[in-house]
């Protein structure tokens, strides 16, 4: 048990040094944090009864910040370890809270079981990768390198959630695609966490 504590203590020290050497408030990190602001605006608007169009616009703006934080981090050479970690955490928080809010809203408003099932399909990656995410944190693993499959999953999640918000009849198709790709992405993350 002493070796494990030493390893954790060493990792914490390394993380502290990383954070001290990095610029926390840059454009990419600000965009990542802005995603949280959009999330709370989205949840407020959902329960305040704003139209679906406005909800999709706010959701879309939040999704765009997910693309541009990484784009500007690379373009402006402002990639940071803390920024990469923060992006991964906020991505998960955003998806889980947005879907959770939609689920509660649908239950309150007696939505059909179909829409609720669609939400579970859309969150397949989060459901599968959550244990891996927690294992990675506990084990102090390095930041998970963004993979193409993860970006595709995010893209399909955005389309599927937008379609569910708008209550489009074809929402099942992007939800199923998200589920399949999300399962692959989730297992990839889980595999990384326990390796």
pLDDT digits (tens, 9 = 90+) for 37-81: 999 999 999 999 999 999 999 999 998 998 888 888 888 888 777
Q: What is the mean pLDDT of the chain?
A: 85
Which letter does DSSP use for residue 79 in this model? Answer: -
Nearest to 153 by CA among 172, 118, 181: 181
From the centroid of its chain, how far is CA 174?
17
Which letter does DSSP use for residue 25 in this model? Answer: S
Pairwise CA distance, residues 92 & 113, whole Å:
24
CB 185 within 8 A of CB 144: no
pLDDT of residue 85: 78
pLDDT digits (tens, 9 = 90+) for 172-191: 999 999 999 989 988 887 78
139 exposed, middle or buried (CB, 10 Å; 0-12, 13-18, 19+)? middle
Pairwise CA distance, residues 155 & 76, whole Å:
23
pLDDT of residue 111: 77
Spell out the domains of the chain, with CATH numbers in brackets: 21-194 (1.20.120.1760)
Burial annotation 4-23 (CB, 10 A radius, 16+ → b, else e) = eeeeeeeeeeeeeeeeeeee
**Residue scoring higher pLDDT (184 or 134):** 184
| Dihedrals phi, psi of 21, to nearest 5 degrees | -85, 0
pLDDT of residue 139: 77
Nearest to 167 by CA among 104, 119, 98: 119
What global pTM score does this model have? 0.79
């Amino acid at each position: 048990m002493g070796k494990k504590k030493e390893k954790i203590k060493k990792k914490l020290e390394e993380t502290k040094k990383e954070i001290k050497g990095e610029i926390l408030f840059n454009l990419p990190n600000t965009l990542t944090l802005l995603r949280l602001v959009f999330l709370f605006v989205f949840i407020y608007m959902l329960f305040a009864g704003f139209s679906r169009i406005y909800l999709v616009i706010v959701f879309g703006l939040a999704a765009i910040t997910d693309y541009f934080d990484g784009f500007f981090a690379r373009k402006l050479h402002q990639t940071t370890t803390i920024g990469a970690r923060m992006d991964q955490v906020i991505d998960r928080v955003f998806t889980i809270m947005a879907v959770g809010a939609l689920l509660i809203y649908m239950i309150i408003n007696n939505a059909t079981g179909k829409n609720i099932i669609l939400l579970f399909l859309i969150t397949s990656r989060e459901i599968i990768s959550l244990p891996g995410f927690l294992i990675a944190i506990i084990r102090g693993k390095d930041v998970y390198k963004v993979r193409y499959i993860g970006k595709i999953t995010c893209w399909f999640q955005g389309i599927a959630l937008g379609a569910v918000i708008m209550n489009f009849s074809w929402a099942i198709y992007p939800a199923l695609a998200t589920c399949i790709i999300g399962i692959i992405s989730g297992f990839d993350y889980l595999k990384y966490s326990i390796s």
